[in-house]
Amino acid sequence: MSANTLPRLDGKKVLITGGLGFIGANLVRLCLRLGAAVTIYDNLDPRSGGRLYNVQDVKDEVELAFHDIQNFDQLTDRVMGKDILFNCAASTSHPFSMREPWLDSDVNSRGVINLLEATRRFNPEMQFVHVGTSTQLGPLQYTPADERHPEFPTDIYSANKSVSEKYVLIYARTYGICASVVRLSNTFGPYASIHSPEFTFNNFFIGLALQNKPITVFGDGKQLRNVLYVTDACEALVMAATTPCSLGETYFAVGDEHYSVGEIAEATVRHMRSGSVTYVPWPEQRKRIDFGDAIISNAKIKEALGWKPTTSMADGLELTREYYAPRLEHYLR
């Protein structure tokens, strides 16, 4: 049971863009449990990891809108009348963004402008929470990094996420829309795309281990990351949407502990009860966009919103295995 105090959302109309994806599908369930009426807005772009199976057990409890955030007219129809919007829609692959920068920009920059304009014009009182990422920072200039750390992203995805966050804050400051940003870091758990390295590395590790395949770690694997179980991430999003002091603010919702990539891989094999870990030299292209250690502070969100991560990496991996083990066939494509 979570130690975070979450508000009831009874009577609230919630729109979750990207609601068929990893973060979105978990957030759908949390909002339903809190009493909200939920609309999922998703175009099932395979580059973003969404799948209908992610909501097969709650499909009768939600409204599904199969549209793209790049279509402004369709978007405005769904924004009107909502109390809260969680923007989980994104093209999420770092390598893909380097291969197809225009497509990444269309979704992660222009798509966010569409959301903000629809909000400004047709529902400016709606609570708007945008999902950011820790990779916006790039190589760290000091540790632990906080929300004041400068941003020098090393790939197009992270650059566009940085830009879109600035759009959100500009609209909050200039037009007074009720917007905030929650940056997540290496989130893992059920409903993720575990079949491809194009998505979050630790979820891909989980998929490899569950198939009893070797996990490949580049270099010595000593670069540090903090991981976050997805339920903790979703609770941070809900708390940002329902706490007045969050308006116009950016928060890091990250785990308390930092682990090396090698330690994450070894723990994944241990808790999935299969697989192995292999260390290989860095591929040159991947080495160019790696940013080293990511040691990040969650002090601001703890103090401002009273949020804290409540699930350890070990417990989160056990819960993740329990979800995927009987359903693995649905997540290997």
* Percent of the chain predicted with pLDDT > 90: 88
Instruction: Write down the pLDDT at residue 286.
Output: 67
Instruction: Write down the pLDDT at residue 289.
Output: 63
Residue 238's nearest CA partner among 29, 39, 42, 22 is 29
The single-letter DSSP state of residue 175 is H
In-domain check, residue 5: no
- State the Cα–Cα distance between residues 158 and 169, nearest whole angstrom: 17
Instruction: Write down the pLDDT at residue 197.
Output: 86
- State the Cα–Cα distance between residues 106 and 112, nearest whole angstrom: 9
In-domain check, residue 3: no
Question: At 87, which helix (H) or strand (E)?
Answer: strand 84-87
- State the Cα–Cα distance between residues 29 and 40, nearest whole angstrom: 11
Instruction: Write down the pLDDT at residue 56.
Output: 95
Report strand pairing: 84-87 vs 127-133. parallel
- State the Cα–Cα distance between residues 127 and 117, nearest whole angstrom: 14
- CB within 8 A of 322, min separation 6: which ones? none
Which carries the bigger pLDDT value, residue 3 or residue 38? 38
Average pLDDT over residues 136-162: 95
**Domain region containing 78:** 13-331
pLDDT tens string 53-97: 999 999 999 999 999 999 999 999 999 999 999 999 999 888 889
* Band of residue 158 on the pLDDT scale cut at 50, 70, 90: very high
Q: Please report, for the domain that includes residue 99, its CATH number.
A: 3.40.50.720
- CB within 8 A of 94, min separation 6: which ones? 135, 155, 157, 158, 289
pLDDT tens string 175-229: 999 999 999 999 999 999 999 988 889 999 999 999 999 999 998 999 999 999 9
Q: Which residue type, as a one-letter code, is found at position 139?
A: P
Please, what is the average pLDDT of the chain?
94
* Band of residue 303 on the pLDDT scale cut at 50, 70, 90: very high
8 Å CB contact between 25 and 54: yes
Query: Per-residue DSSP letters for 1-20?
Result: ---S-----TT-EEEEETTT
In-domain check, residue 2: no
- Asked if residue 333 has pLDDT above 90, the reply is no
Count: domains in the chain: 1
Query: Per-residue DSSP letters for 192-223?
Result: ---S-TTS-HHHHHHHHHHTT-EEEEETT---
Q: Is the peptide bond before 244 cis (omega within 30 degrees of 0)?
A: no
Instruction: Write down the pLDDT at residue 58.
Output: 97
Question: At 182, which helix (H) or strand (E)?
Answer: strand 178-184
In-domain check, residue 112: yes
Entry pTM = 0.95
- Asked if residue 107 has pLDDT above 80, the reply is yes
* Band of residue 291 on the pLDDT scale cut at 50, 70, 90: low
Instruction: Write down the pLDDT at residue 3.
Output: 76
